[in-house]
Structures are given as C-alpha cells and as structure tokens.
Chain A
Amino acid sequence: MSSVLKKVPTQERLNQARQLAAAIFGHPWNPECKRLGTNILRAELKGPELVKYYGVNEDIPTFKDFKKWFPELKLVDPRETYRLHMIQDRKKRNKGAPKKKKA
C-alpha cells in the first residue's frame, strides 16, 4: 500500500534546490560557511563620512572669508577682539604665553 504523501526529498536534493535559488536571486552560496572575506569587500567605505566629522570647510563661509570679500565694510569679529583682549589681559598679569627661545 503506497502512501498518499510524497517521499521527503533528500538533503542533497534540497541543497541543489537552495543553490539554484541562490543563483537565481543573486544570493551568496556558501554552505560550508567558509571564511571568504567577502564581507570586507561588500562593506561601504567609511572614509568619506569620517573625514567630514569636524565639518567641511567649503560648506559655509567663515568670518574671515567675509572680511576678505568685503574689505570696504571693515568688519570686526567680536570673538577675535575678545580673544585678543583676553591675551592682553593675561599679559598684564604676567600670565601670558612664554617668549620664544632665540636660536
């Protein structure tokens, strides 16, 4: 008496089907899980993002750029004047940067 159910396909046959499916859908076929290092080649390059971390210089103009473009406006950067003022202030209290050594 034969069963109505079909016999379960062998493991080999199943693997063949899987391989065919992988070939059709462009999936990698690596049943032995060999270390082929393809993940290194597949990964996106990180460099272009990493370089942008501290900002891209060309993205926005700086105060210096405006000063260069419009010298007739005689723009003064308040942050720069504050910095210079602080340096002068420190020098008055003898807390300034040490003098350069003369060769």
Chain B
Amino acid sequence: MPFRFPFRFDIPEHSYVSARVLRDQFKRIQYSEHEVTRNALRYIARNTELPPRARLEAQLQLTAMPKYTSFNQIRNRCVASGNSKSVISDFKLNRTVFRDRARAGLIPGVKVASW
C-alpha cells in the first residue's frame, strides 16, 4: 500500500493512532521542519524598516508554502482516543477518557473532589 502522505514519517507507537492523528502528526513534523524558513520570511514581512517590495515578496512566498507547514493547522488531539474536542491539555486526554481513567485511579494525583 502506498504511503498516503507526501513525505514519509514515523508512525507514533505510544499513542492511539487513527487517520486524523496521523494527519496531525504529519503536520507537526512538517511545521517543525519548515519553522526556520517560515520565521525568516515572517521576519522580513513584518519588519517595517525593510523595503516594501521585499516585504511583499516574503509575504507571497509565505502564502505559497504548503498549508501543512503552517502552525495553525496543528490541533491537539487526545493521545488515548484521537478525539480533538474537549482535550484537557494538562493530560493530553479527552474529557471522557480523562474521567474514566481518573475514576479508575490511573492518573497520579487526580481524585474525585469531595468536601
């Protein structure tokens, strides 16, 4: 079966894997690879002291880059279920998975509040 992403990358072994998790991981890797280039272009585009032509050129180059190299394409997903909604960022878990695990006592330091 062909690899369905433009670039090959290691499939995460220690988390729940679904097509969407893979897509997110792919974007993360691509973002980190292009981060320096993007920052350089961003710097040129945002620096008001540089000639407008260079700034415009940099901005055009930024927009010409693939979408998957941009930061705002990355979404934190649940590590245990792949869900992207109600992810508690401290635990990287979706709220239902968090609840189940917390009730089972699997998350150190977390217990049901009672006073």
Binding site for B on A (CB under 8 A): 34-38, 40-41, 43, 45-48, 50-51, 53-57, 59-60, 62
Give the chain A neighbours of B93 by CB distance below 8 A. none
Binding site for A on B (CB under 8 A): 10, 12-15, 21, 24-25, 28-29, 31-33, 35-36, 39, 42-49, 71, 74, 76, 79, 92
User: CA of A45 to CA of B46 in the docked complex: distance in angstroms?
Assistant: 18
Contact between chains at A53 and B14 (CB < 8 Å): no
Interface CB pairs A-B, < 8 A, 18: A35-B46, A37-B44, A37-B45, A41-B43, A45-B32, A45-B35, A45-B39, A51-B28, A51-B29, A53-B28, A54-B12, A54-B14, A54-B24, A55-B13, A55-B15, A57-B10, A60-B14, A62-B14
User: CA of A65 to CA of B90 in the docked complex: distance in angstroms?
Assistant: 29
**Binding site of B, secondary structure by majority: helix, strand, loop or mixed?**
helix
Contact between chains at A54 and B32 (CB < 8 Å): no
With a 10 A CB-CB cut-off, give which of B12, B42, B71 has the most chain A CB atoms: B12
User: CA of A75 to CA of B78 in the docked complex: distance in angstroms?
Assistant: 29
Contact between chains at B32 and A48 (CB < 8 Å): yes
User: CA of A86 to CA of B56 in the docked complex: distance in angstroms?
Assistant: 57
